[in-house]
Structure 1
């Protein structure tokens, strides 16, 4: 009965948060704190959240497994990821150490561990918000996730050293995991498209990856991430991620509820959380400076930094192991940073648009790894988004004799297009500088084949703002989204499922009556 009331209350608070323009996860956090407060007010003692703790842990493992499914090792082995992640960890730990010693006068060991816990950013929040915006595979999305993985590995080392426990000697076997990739690929191929595939994902994420790594003295979170990454190159990796999506989302509600239910803070804990929240902008600023130093454009540096401007649930894990007396103050700090960071991340693109004129001059005058094209040459049609819809449109139009070019924000997609003989360039439609600087002398039409509606609307606005007179066409899943796209300035919008049905009927009619 108690769990049922938690679910109902979480739904109501999540709905309320969405109604006022905040992500539902902020409502889940508020629900947890409210339930904890009600428990104290009604004198029913601390709420038993043992079941919720297990659900929350499963949600985190599934999230990291699905992040791993979209991860490529080549995205991690980059100077801006490794250098930015390590430098930020060292510098922010030292800065937080100075602040903690100055304000709290703690023993050195306790102060160091607390500072390290505060230096990490939230993998769960960043991955969830980036995924909801379909930006996990964008340049700044991969940058943020790469840095977070570096931090997670550092957190594992810190916990092992602080706890005085070394992993089992058998942990060395993890270096042989890549040898299992062919077997995992065969299992995924053999599992079909229904419940067996979902069960395989749960088995790898929760049992073999999670419990298996834990039994070796390693992080279960790292295990789930590792097994997801091993499947990332499989052609059905995204299908598996989508199949696990609903389960993961439900379990993650437990994670955010658990933070709040862990207990209400006292005045000292609240004061600590407020002070740490005031220091949060400096954490994001340090990320931005480091990313620009590593030759990234201001836009990628800004968007990546915003995603990382929060405190981490790994800080709570570190505290639970070596700083139990700081668990509730850190929980409040993490929760408050989520309340600040979640809406900030969702508003990152319009916020950058306002700040661009001050941020762009800070870029280094050199070739950037996230450079975008300056000219489309003789291309007549531009296709923004080279997923299945974009590739189908590209092949059809090229067969009709048009000069076509594709644009996509995922370098992996660009590489796949190059191998398939499709001309595609790296570009992000939400970047105002792309459309302002891009030379399109022969372009007659732009097709928006992106999944994210907001990116389409921003792209349409930027194109019309620069005076593009040509045809802009887009697809949409729902009628209300289609209407918003038309209002933004598109000439045509097509409902995806309706067009698929009409196309299917056309093929059937042609087979039955070829001359019709």
Structure 2
């Protein structure tokens, strides 16, 4: 009965949020507060909330495991990630400390711990939003996730120092985890493509990574992330992530419900949350400035900063350990920040388009190595998106003697194509400055093979706006998307499933022809 109530409230509130143009997770948060308010009437007690806490924890572990599957440790060892994460932590803590002490009468040591909790950004929201927009592996997505991991590591240190917990001496064994990679690769190869693969993912995320790290006195969240990262280079890492997608999404609903159902805030908590929400833009501005210092372009700095402009569930965990009396006020503060951040992330790209003229002059003259202008040289055909469709198109046209160049925003796809001898380079097709700086003197045709339908529409518009008159061809999953791409200026748009069916029919027809 209790589970049915949770599901009903989550669905109704999630549907209402979507109807008003908000992400469903905003509705889940509202459902949590509604359940807290109606708890006695609905017969929901502390024991039931404890059960929801376990469900929420599973959702977080699965999310971090799937983030780890798409993570390369080399992305962390970067100046903008380490420098930006550490500097922002220090500066934002110092900025929030006076505000906290002015607002609340407490010892400065406790005020500092609360300021530290407010300095962290939400790993769950950022990862979920970036994943939903297929931007986890885009440059700004990689920077955002890298900074969040740095923050999570800092949070673990703060909890250990403030809570007096010391990891077990056996925790040093985590440095030997890379030795397990060959074994994990073999297990994933042997698990097939169905339920055994799902069970392997659950085993590594929840048991070996989650519970195993807890036994060592370390964070279970860190364990789930670490074991996901160990599998990130496996050729089936994306398949494993996709197989866990629906399970992860369902348990994450419990996470957002749990935030609200933890208790109703009083007037003081509401005032605190509102005032801290007013300070939220300072986090984003500080991130933006630091990323510019580390040579990011205005667009990457802006999109990364928007992803990080919120308060963190890890900050809530830190508070529950070191300042338990502030858990509910900080939960409300985090909930409000998630509502604000969700809206900002929804309009992040068009918002940057409006602000670009003011933000671009703030860039440094020195460009980040990952964001240099691109010249296509003598390429006749440009292919954007090097997934299975893009790679197949590239190889087919190469065999016919065409000169080709390809672009992708996924470093994994770039590495795979480069190893196969394809001409490929990093680029974000939704970046307006990329299109302005792209040099394509000999290109006669462009193939749009990205997964993101919106990116195809934007790419078509940008190509036509810059005066490209050549052939633009795309594929699409649905008829309405195909019409949008053609309305933006594409010459031809093929429906993926229809073309696959036609191709199968051609093979059958040739096989049945006499003498074939």
CA–CA distance in structure 1, aligned partners of residues 120 and 514 of structure 2: 64
How far did residue 78 of structure 1 move?
0.6
Offset at residue 49 of structure 1 (A): 1.2
Q: Which residue of structure 2 lines up, in the alignment, with residue 331 of structure 1?
A: 331
- Give the match's secondary structure for 2:244: helix
**Offset from partner CA, 1:172-229 (integer Å, 9 cap, x none):** 1111111111100000000000000000000000000000001111000000000000
Counterparts of 1:376 and 1:7 in 2: how far apart (Å)?
A: 52
- Matched with 1:73 is 73
Structure 1: distance between partners of 2:177 and 2:454: 40
Aligned 1:98-497 pairs, distance under 5 A = 98-497=98-497
Q: Secondary structure at the match of 1:136?
A: coil
Deviations along 1:131-163, one digit per CA (max 9) or x if unpaired, are 000000000000000000000000000000000
How far apart in 2 are the matches of 1:144 and 1:287? 10
Matched-pair contact (CA < 8 Å) for 1:296–1:369: no
SS of structure 1 residue aligned to 2:328: helix
Q: Tell me the SS of whatever aligns to 2:151.
A: helix
- How far apart are residue 41 of structure 1 and its match? 7.3
TM-score for the superposition, normalised by structure 2: 0.97
Query: Structure 2 stretches of 5 or more lacking a match?
Result: none
CA-CA distance at 1:44 after TM superposition? 7.1
CA distance in 1, matches of 2:514, 2:209: 55
TM-score after normalising by structure 1: 0.97
CA 1:18–1:160: 2 relative to 1, 3 Å: same
Distance 2:219 2:139 in 1: 27
CA distance in 2, matches of 1:40, 1:87: 46
Structure-2 separation of matches of 1:92 and 1:474: 45
User: Relative to structure 2, which stretch is displaced further, 377-386 or 216-225?
Assistant: 377-386
The alpha-carbon deviation at position 439 of structure 1 amounts to: 2.2
Q: Shift of the alpha carbon at 1:511?
A: 2.2
Q: Which residue of 1 aligns with 2:499?
A: 499
Displacement of 1:46: 6.0
CA shift for structure 1 position 438: 1.7
CA distance in 2 between counterparts of 1:76 and 1:43 reads 47
Q: Retained in 2: the 8 A contact 1:39–1:46? A: no
Contact in 2 for aligned 1:373/1:426 (Cα 8 Å): no
Contact 1:140–1:301, Cα closer than 8 Å, also in 2: yes
The answer for unaligned runs of 5 or more in structure 1 is none
Q: Is 1:36–1:47's contact at 8 Å kept on the other side of the alignment?
A: no
For each residue in 1:10-53, what CA deviation from the matched residue of structure 2 results, as whole angstroms up to 9, or x when unmatched? Answer: 11211121222111111111111112122367797668312211
Residues 373 and 425 in structure 1, CA contact (< 8 A), matched pair in contact too: no
* Contact kept? 1:295, 1:368, Cα under 8 Å: yes
- How much does 1:486 deviate? 2.0
Report the alpha carbon displacement of residue 320 of structure 1 after superposing the two structures with TM: 1.2
Task: Identify which range, 45-54 or 308-317, moves more after superposition.
Answer: 45-54
More displaced 10-residue stretch of structure 1: 408-417 or 118-127: 408-417
Quote how far apart the aligned CAs of 1:473 are.
1.4
Q: Identify if the C-alpha distance between structure 1 residues 508 and 44 changes in structure 2 by more than 3 Å, giving closer, same or farther.
A: closer
Match of 1:53 in 2: 53
Contact 1:373 1:427 in 2 (8 A): no
Q: Is the 8 A contact 1:39 1:47 kept in 2?
A: no
Q: Distance in 1 between matches of 2:267 and 2:56?
A: 27
Secondary structure at the aligned position of 1:8 is classed as helix
- Note if contact 2:320-2:327 (Cα within 8 Å) is conserved in structure 1: yes
2:12 paired with 1:22? no
SS in 2 for 1:370: helix
1:300-346 CA distances to partner (integer Å, 9 max, x unpaired)? 11111110000000011111111110000000011000000012112
Secondary structure in 2 matching 1:286: helix
Q: Distance in 2 between matches of 1:324 and 1:14?
A: 29
Structure 1 runs of 4+ off > 3 angstroms? 40-47
Q: Is the 8 A contact 2:2 2:44 kept in 1?
A: no
Query: Per-residue CA shift, 1:45-88, capped at 9, x if unaligned?
Result: 66831221111000000000000000001101111100100110
Deviates more, 1:335-344 or 1:452-461: 452-461
Give how far 1:515 is off: 6.1
1:365 counterpart SS class: coil
Preserved contact between residue 274 and residue 333 of structure 2 (Cα < 8 Å): yes
